[in-house]
């Protein structure tokens, strides 16, 4: 079974332009994600799916394999589908490029145990541990059955605690597994009403009767959606490593811009 790991990295983020190049302890965020997953032996290969030459040059500088994809993809699933048309595989494991603290413990439980010809999606979820996480619309909440089959996804807290206060809220974690059938189905199917309302890509599958399955993982992974998230992750990583007497915290993204500006002068 061939599983390709794809890390989508988009430069033109609405909230944080250039996010994949954001500095974390002297390395771009994309470097941290790549090196978290490149040694996981279930992957035949790890590829960064990038949309901008500024990111591709950084990949070259740091020895990360990449494919330069179209800058016109409306979301990351379409970007992965483009990769699937260039590199055949049984499954495409998507690790979001804004998860610099992702661990194998978050990824391996999502790996399928058999090949499927039907559209297949598997993902990771974790329990939310604070009220602030529950109400944060950046955290996508899941309503699932006891077997992990997804019933609904929302930026609002679901399910609503009318019958009891003992509700355990679950959050989508940036680990996803698709086969080609699911990717092709997604790009050929128009956006649905619920997907438009919630701004959650995966609802396109649910609205068309394609099941989504989520596996619970123990995770400290944090998706970097805001500058505040970035500061938190920097501090966590800074405190997790022995830096050998100090670290150069010069922003790689800032350095890259300086080189570009110098070349253009």
Per-residue pLDDT tens for 183-195? 999 999 999 999 9
Q: Angle at which helices 53-61 and 252-264 pack, to 10 degrees?
A: 110
pLDDT per residue over 101-140, tens digit each? 888 889 999 999 999 999 999 999 999 988 998 999 989 9
DSSP state for residue 242 in the 8-state scheme:
-
Domain ranges in the chain are: 3-219
Q: CB 166: neighbour CB atoms within 10 A?
A: 6
Looking at per-residue pLDDT, the higher value among 145 and 99 belongs to 145
Res. 63: pLDDT tops 50:
yes
Each residue's pLDDT tens digit, 140-168: 999 999 999 999 999 999 999 999 988 99
CB environment 242-251: b (16+ within 10 A), e (fewer): eeeeeeeeee
110 contacts 93 by C-beta, under 8 angstroms = yes
Class of residue 195 by CB neighbours under 10 A (exposed 0-12, middle 13-18, buried 19+): buried
Confidence of residue 223 (pLDDT cuts 50, 70, 90): confident
3-219 fold: Spore Coat Polysaccharide Biosynthesis Protein SpsA; Chain A (3.90.550)
Question: What pLDDT score was predicted for residue 220?
Answer: 67
Q: How confident is the model at residue 241 (pLDDT cuts 50, 70, 90)?
A: low
Residue 263 above 50 pLDDT? Answer: no
Helices (H), the chain: 29-37, 53-61, 76-84, 104-107, 131-135, 180-188, 193-198, 203-207, 227-238, 252-264
pLDDT in tens, 4-25: 999 999 997 777 888 999 999 8
Distance from the Cα of residue 153 to its chain's centroid: 16
Q: CA dist 32 to 8, 25, 85, Å?
A: 13, 10, 26
- Rounded to two decimals, the pTM is 0.86
Q: Which residue has the higher pLDDT, 19 or 204?
A: 204
- Residues 224 and 16 sit within 8 Å (Cβ to Cβ): yes
């Amino acid at each position: 079974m061939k599983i390709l790991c794809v890390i989508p990295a988009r430069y033109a983020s609405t909230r944080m332009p250039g996010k994949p190049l954001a500095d974390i302890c002297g390395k771009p965020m994309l470097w941290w994600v790549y090196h978290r997953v490149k040694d996981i032996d279930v992957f035949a290969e790890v590829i960064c799916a990038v949309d901008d030459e500024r990111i591709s040059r950084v990949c070259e500088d740091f020895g990360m394999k990449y494919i330069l994809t179209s800058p016109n993809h409306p979301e990351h699933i379409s970007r992965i589908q483009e990769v699937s048309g260039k590199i055949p595989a049984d499954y495409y494991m998507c690790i979001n490029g804004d998860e610099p603290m992702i661990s194998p413990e978050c990824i391996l439980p999502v790996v399928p145990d058999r090949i499927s010809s039907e559209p297949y999606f598997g993902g990771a979820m974790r329990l939310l541990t604070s009220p602030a996480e529950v109400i944060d619309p950046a955290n996508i909440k899941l309503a699932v059955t006891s077997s992990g089959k997804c019933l609904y996804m929302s930026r609002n807290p679901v399910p609503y605690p009318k019958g009891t206060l003992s509700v355990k809220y679950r959050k989508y974690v940036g680990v996803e597994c698709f086969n080609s059938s699911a990717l092709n189905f997604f790009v050929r199917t128009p956006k649905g009403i619920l997907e438009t309302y919630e701004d959650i890509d995966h609802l396109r599958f649910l609205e068309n009767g394609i099941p989504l399955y989520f596996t619970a993982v123990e995770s400290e992974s944090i998706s970097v959606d805001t500058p505040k998230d970035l500061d938190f992750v920097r501090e966590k990583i800074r405190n997790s490593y022995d830096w050998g007497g100090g670290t150069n915290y010069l922003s790689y993204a800032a350095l890259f811009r300086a080189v570009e500006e110098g070349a253009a002068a």
